[in-house]
Structure formats: C-alpha cells, structure tokens
Structure 1
Amino acid sequence: MCEHHGPTSESDRAGRPGRRALVRGAGGMVLAGGVLAVGAEGAAAATSQNGWPAGSSSSVPLTRLTVGAATFPAGVRSGQVATVLGYVVRRYDREVERLVSGWCWGHAYRPIRGASTLSNHSSGTAIDCNAPRHPLGKAGTFSAAQRSRIHAILADCDGVVRWGGDYSGRKDEMHFEIDVRPGDARLAALVKRIGGGGGGSTPPATTWSTVRQGSTGFRVTAVQHLLRHRGARLTADGIFGAGTKAAVVAFQRGKGLAADGVVGARTWAALVVTVQQGSRGQAVVAAQKALTARGHRLAADGIFGAGTRSAALAYQRSASLTADGVVGQRTWARLTL
C-alpha cells in the first residue's frame, strides 16, 4: 500500500525518549528484507511509536475514513482517534488542498522506513494526505500560506496531533499522527471540544469547526448573522474582532456556557437555528451565505424560499446528509466545518 509512494515514516523520531520501541512477543517478530513477520502473540504485544497497541487490520479496531474524493485504505483507529483525525483531514481538504482519490493512506502494519520501530500507521493513529505530492524526505512541498493553514489546524488540536513537516530530522509532509498516548486527558478534552462526545467505538455524527478572535471568512459571517438573530448588534463583516468576541461571550453567559469567546462545538450547537422553507431572518441569511460559500449561488435576502431549499437539498446530497431541505444541526455543522 503506502510503500508505493513512501508515505510511511515518522522520520527520525524512532529513538525519541519516552517512545516505546517494538516489543517482541512469544510469537516472534523479525524484519526480513523490510517485511514484518509477526506471530499472534508478538502482534498482541506490539505498540507503535506513540504507544498505541498495534497490529493487523483484524486486531486493531478500525473505522472507514472518507473525506471529499479520498478514502483512506484500511481506515483509522475507531473512537477518539477517528474523531480527531477525521476533524484534521476534513479541515485539510477544505483549508489546505483538496484530497486526491488514491493518494491517501491510513492503517498499515509495518515499521518506520529505515527503523525497526513500528510506524504509527500500525496502530491506526496516523494518516498520509496526497502522498505523491508530498514525498517522504522532501521539504517545501507546501506554500507558505498552506503551511500557515496546517499550523492553524494543529493549534486547534491542542498538542494532540503532530505533522511530519515539523520533524526536526527527515521531513514527512504528507503525514499527520496522534502525538499522545492512550488515555491522555488532552485527547478526551479535544474530542469533547470538537463535538465528539465521550469517545465511543464509532466516530461522531456531528463535528463542528472552531472560530475565535482573529478568524475570518464565511464561518465568522455565519456566526455574526446567527448572533444578530439572537439580538446582538454587530456588523456581519466576516472578521472576528473584539466586538464579535464580546457578543459571543454575552451569548455564552446567557446559555450557561464557558464564556471564553471561542465558538466551538457547544457554542455552535446552542447558536444555530433550524431553518426551512418559510423561515425568515438573520439565521436564514447565515444559511444562505454558507451555502453560497459552498458553491450554491443564492441571494442572501433572509427568505427561505424554493431556491434556498433547492440549494440546501443539493448540498445535503453532496455531503451525504439526509436530503430534506431543512438546515438543522447536522447540516449546519457540515456547512460550517
């Protein structure tokens, strides 16, 4: 699989202190010609570089990951890991570059290239994005603007995710991995913040974006119109400045939420308004502008008529949502992700 494009390295971190190396079990594990030969007991004992239990696709709980045009072969580790990596890759597809079918990779049981330590792919805790475009060992495959967007995504992951482009040694710019051990409180906190619930065995149905002071764009515009619908007095200019933060804080206090001025999963869920044919007002304007940003041309007139319903239906079908023409929580979440 991934060896076709060389996307399998966590770079020079194989000897990084605190990382558990390959464990040899009674079943045995040898490297012969670069191929892992693993007995059942050896597979059970093995962990990947980041400390997660590793094994074949029959021993690691995996879930399908499909974003845009790309499906990640074999998937990624179910539960909290799938929630976080799904969040990262959806933002990558939207904010950095479009994913290409056949160019992305997920779980694969093998060592890091040039080392004996198991790759984080072996535990389903790593993904490679557009591998041929960002080959192992090559730096500078992204523009400065793209790197900035990648770092913004990582910043929103609170240290839970690491990018191979930030390795101090050999670069691996296609590669993103979970950088905390199982049970780390930061992982559960991030899942909760981005809307993943308590970390069950399947990824959440609803994941929200995060916008805060300094953010710009149509998501901010949607927040501003939704706040206006709730009675706030502010200009919907797509710039999250001090005035928008103050309005968010006031809304959060009114809803009994943590008043940090950051629009994350809980604030989005409380802020959005279900709109459908016949609805009017600022919440409809927010939906119309979000749909326009997703490629559906609409007049942002605040009237949810047949044209807006048609656009909502088309978007829902493209996003694999229930196509009912109603912009409710799930449609809002996908529109603003």
Structure 2
Amino acid sequence: MCEQHDQQGPSDVRATAPDVGRRALVRGAGGLLLGGGLVVAGAGAARAATSQNGWPASSSPSAIGITGLTVAGHAFPSGVRGGQVHTILGYVARRFHSEVEALVTPGNWGYNYRVISGSTSLSNHASGTAIDVNAPRHPLGSSGTFSATQVSRIRSILSSCNGVVRWGGDYSGRKDEMHFEINVRPGDSRIAPLVAKIGGTTPAPTTAWSTVQSGASGFRVTAIQHLLRARGQSLTVDGVFGSVTVSRVKAFQSSRSLLADGVVGPKTWVALVVTVQNGSSGQAVVAAQKALTARGYSLTADGVFGATTASKAKAFQTSRGLLADGVVGAQTWAKLTI
C-alpha cells in the first residue's frame, strides 16, 4: 500500500508536513507496522480529527460511514467513505479497471486510520477518501510504472472529475502512482455536480425519465437493448420490446435488487445507463450514438466514442441546457431518452 503523503496539498488545503526520513509503513491489524516490525496500536488516534484533505477522520469506521467497495469482483479491504465519496472513488476505480489496467487481487486498498509517514497529519485513507489500485505493480516512490497510453487514460479520468480527484503520480516530490484521493474539502461546490454527472445517484426529481415497456418500439427500445448487452444480457437488438427483452430486463432488475416487472422506468434507467465519453467503446457507446442520431445529431454508430461523438454529445447537451462536457452520464441519458 502507499504512504499517502502531503508533499503538495489539494487545491484548497495547504499541507506543511516535511517529506523527510520516512520508513516504510504497511497495514497492521489495529495499528501501524513500522519498517522494523513494531506495531503501534491505534497510531494517530489522538491526532487531528480530519485527514490531510480536510475530511473528518476516525479510528472507528462506522463513525464516518465507511462502506464496502468492490469493483469488477475486486474488493477494496475496509471500504471507503460512503455517499458521494463512494460514488466518486468507485467511478475512478471502475474506469481505471476498464480503461487503464485490469484490477488485481490482492493489491487494492481503501480506509486505513493512520498518520502520513514522517508527518503529524492523518492520511486521507484515515477519512476513507483515498484508494490505492494495483499496489504491487505501482510501488511507492516509483515513477513511470504506467505507459504513456495508460497515463493519458488516467488524465482523462481526472479531467472528468473536475479537479475533485488527485493522482499520486502528480505529487511534486516522491510519486505514489497507485494512489487516488479526494482533492477538495467536504461541501465543495464541485462535488454534487460531479456525482450527478457520473450517474452515481438518482438524478434530482426535476429530471424526468421515460417509461418503456412491452409493446414499445423505436430508438428508446434500441438504446435499452444495447445497454442490456453492455450489462451482460444476451439479446438481439431489433428495437422491439418483446418477450425476450422483457425477460432480459427482469433478469437485470433482479441483479440490481429492483422490482423485476420488466418495465424500464426511472430506477431501472438509472441502474442501466453506463457513463460513456471520449475513449469509451462498446455497446453503451452504440446506444448513445443511436440515441443522438435519433435526436437529430447524426453520426455513425460504430461503438467508438471519438471526437465526432464527443462533438455531437456536446451540441446535444447545449441544446438541453446541460453542462456541455461531452460526457454522456445520467443527466444526458435522461434527456436523450425522454
């Protein structure tokens, strides 16, 4: 795991701890295991109640709402902070897995109550606002553990997070390329829009979704069928909501603990849509491209989200009063399919 450190504070938090004399720290049950093998139980327990990025921290996971995080079958032991943080870090981890490098187990970490080595500040892991991914492949202090293409994809993820997330590979001193952390204080004005954009929560009640069910036909059904395929359901895309589509919708709903009625209403839409953007590919991109075409923004449905698809998505978003970022998240999906 990393020694999350504060050589350069987040945009609104100026860290002052020196980067000197750090010994290796690894997780120990109930404390910190120092390089010499000494376990310090409850290390940092008497320190400040906020982590380096300003989020409340606690040695009691339940006190700060730590909840489990699993991505593509790979668990982050001890989980991360619930709510908006869980949505954001889960989004980062899922995109990392699908676009940068497949996650491996063991090697992914979340909450851990401890101080930053060589500092008096609590690690951002102590507030559940940081994750490490594929730690054995990207050891602390190593630079260049990702290829240029992988770094470009990491940059795309960070860009989509609007400054809310920082990567340890961008530290000004010792690099920590396994590490991603929340980079703003609680309540920052960028958090809620980001969560809404990436589809982590049900959109506000003012955002309407269509209801599509057996007997329907057209581009909404086509989008649903492609999205079902993206979610692992096997069916033919024919734009007709027949018995097979009903069956696959029910199977998907059951997998998400939704009412398995075969009707694609707001809750099913929110669970079904996949956030796609520049660099994405696959069935969800085809669904977005066909929906954009149906809305008058014609383009080839080739399943590759490139510059043309991004341009058309931005034009559609502008026409609907949405943030024109070219990212097709829940809010944009709702407008596309209403």
Interval containing the TM-score (normalised by the shorter chain)? 0.5 to 0.7
Pairing partner for 1:217 from 281, 286, 290: 281
* Distance apart, 1:117 and its partner CA: 1.4
Question: For the residues of structure 1 that align with 2:175 and 2:286, how far apart are their CA atoms?
Answer: 37
Is 1:227 the counterpart of 2:222? The answer is: no
Is 1:108 the counterpart of 2:104? The answer is: no
Aligned partner of 1:66 in structure 2 is 70
Question: For the residues of structure 1 that align with 2:313 and 2:90, how far apart are their CA atoms?
Answer: 30
Aligned partner of 1:173 in structure 2 is 177
Q: What is the TM-score of this pair, normalised by structure 2?
A: 0.64
Is 1:52 the counterpart of 2:55? The answer is: yes
Q: Match of 2:195, SS? A: helix
Q: Match of 1:162, SS? A: strand
Question: For the residues of structure 2 that align with 1:247 and 1:188, how far apart are their CA atoms?
Answer: 21
Question: For the residues of structure 1 that align with 2:9 and 2:307, how far apart are their CA atoms?
Answer: 43
1:164-214 per-residue CA deviation (whole Å, 9 max, x = no partner) reads 0110101101000000001111112211221234899xxx974742425xx
Aligned partner of 1:120 in structure 2 is 124
Aligned partner of 1:9 in structure 2 is 4
* Distance apart, 1:76 and its partner CA: 0.4
* Distance apart, 1:59 and its partner CA: 2.4
Question: For the residues of structure 1 that align with 2:147 and 2:72, how far apart are their CA atoms?
Answer: 21
Q: What is the TM-score of this pair, normalised by structure 1?
A: 0.64
In structure 2, relative to structure 1, the CA distance for the partners of 1:136 and 1:247 (3 Å cut) is closer
Question: For the residues of structure 2 that align with 1:234 and 1:122, how far apart are their CA atoms?
Answer: 47
* Distance apart, 1:138 and its partner CA: 0.7
For 2:40, the aligned partner's letter is V
1:264-295 per-residue CA deviation (whole Å, 9 max, x = no partner) reads 3211233359xxxxxxxxxxxxxxxxxxxxxx
Question: For the residues of structure 1 that align with 2:322 and 2:10, how far apart are their CA atoms?
Answer: 41
For 2:14, the aligned partner's letter is G
1:225-304 → structure 2 map (5 Å cutoff) = 225-230=290-295, 232-237=297-302, 238=304, 240-242=306-308, 245-246=311-312, 249-250=315-316, 253=319, 256-258=320-322, 260=324, 262=326, 263-272=328-337
Q: Match of 2:105, SS? A: coil
Question: For the residues of structure 2 that align with 1:54 and 1:199, how far apart are their CA atoms?
Answer: 29
* Distance apart, 1:79 and its partner CA: 0.8
Decide whether the 8 Å contact of 1:69 with 1:99 is kept in 2.
no
Q: Match of 1:148, SS? A: helix
For 2:4, the aligned partner's letter is S
Decide whether the 8 Å contact of 2:297 with 2:312 is kept in 1.
no
For structure 1, the residue ranges without an aligned partner over 5 or more in a row are: 1-5, 22-30, 274-337
Decide whether the 8 Å contact of 1:14 with 1:112 is kept in 2.
no
* Distance apart, 1:233 and its partner CA: 3.4
Question: For the residues of structure 2 that align with 1:58 and 1:230, how far apart are their CA atoms?
Answer: 46
Which stretch of the first structure deviates more once superposed, 161-170 or 221-230?
221-230
* Distance apart, 1:8 and its partner CA: 2.8
**Alignment RMSD (CA, Å):** 3.5
In structure 2, relative to structure 1, the CA distance for the partners of 1:167 and 1:247 (3 Å cut) is closer
Question: For the residues of structure 2 that align with 1:39 and 1:78, how far apart are their CA atoms?
Answer: 22
- Matched residues, percent identical? 51
Is 1:137 the counterpart of 2:179? The answer is: no
In structure 2, relative to structure 1, the CA distance for the partners of 1:243 and 1:137 (3 Å cut) is closer
In structure 2, relative to structure 1, the CA distance for the partners of 1:113 and 1:15 (3 Å cut) is farther
In structure 2, relative to structure 1, the CA distance for the partners of 1:90 and 1:242 (3 Å cut) is closer
Question: For the residues of structure 1 that align with 2:10 and 2:306, how far apart are their CA atoms?
Answer: 43
* Distance apart, 1:49 and its partner CA: 0.5
In structure 2, relative to structure 1, the CA distance for the partners of 1:20 and 1:261 (3 Å cut) is closer
Q: How many residues align?
A: 251
Decide whether the 8 Å contact of 1:7 with 1:135 is kept in 2.
yes
1:108-150 per-residue CA deviation (whole Å, 9 max, x = no partner) reads 0011123221110000000000111111111111111111111
Question: For the residues of structure 2 that align with 1:261 and 1:191, how far apart are their CA atoms?
Answer: 14
Decide whether the 8 Å contact of 1:134 with 1:173 is kept in 2.
yes
* Distance apart, 1:9 and its partner CA: 2.0
1:27-42 → structure 2 map (5 Å cutoff) = 35=40, 37=42, 42=46
Q: Match of 1:12, SS? A: coil
Question: For the residues of structure 1 that align with 2:195 and 2:148, how far apart are their CA atoms?
Answer: 29
